[in-house]
Amino acid sequence: MFTKQDIAQINALGISPVTIERQIWYFRNGFPFITLDRPAKAGDGILMFENREKESGISVHFVNKSYDEGDIIFQVRCKIEPSDTPETLAQKIHALEYEHYPKVIEDIVIKLPEFLIKSSEEV
């Protein structure tokens, strides 16, 4: 399971070891299917941008008690062109997600110590 040092580091981030074990289990076994009631679109699930913004992008981060405030694992940016609309920016963001999320998750799982992977099977 976790060493005392692991538990101290996990607790310092405000996360419980059980939460970490559950996340590892999901990475190994897949996330549950979610039924959406409607697609996200500009202004409804996708943030709008103002013309003065020059770039956007994605961040992959660890989960903690606050939404979108976990330690950042990976970031990548894309340029916002003057001709971009919320829809074209959403397409760029989705392309970045499809390109990078699988590799980032794979890299995290590969780097997990063997005891974390074994302990996740018990969750």
Q: What is the pLDDT of residues 46-63, one digit of tens each?
A: 665 565 778 889 988 887
Tokens of 97: 């997600």
- Taken as a whole, the chain contains a residue count of 123
pTM as predicted: 0.52
Helix axes 86-111, 17-29, angle to 10 degrees: 100
- Say how many C-beta atoms besides its own lie within 10 A of residue 80's C-beta: 19
**Average of per-residue pLDDT across 83-105:** 89
| Chain segment 28-49, per-residue pLDDT in tens | 888 777 776 777 776 666 665 5
User: What is the domain extent for residue 71?
Assistant: 4-120
Question: In total, how many domains does the chain have?
Answer: 1
Phi/psi for 37 (5° steps) reads -90, -15
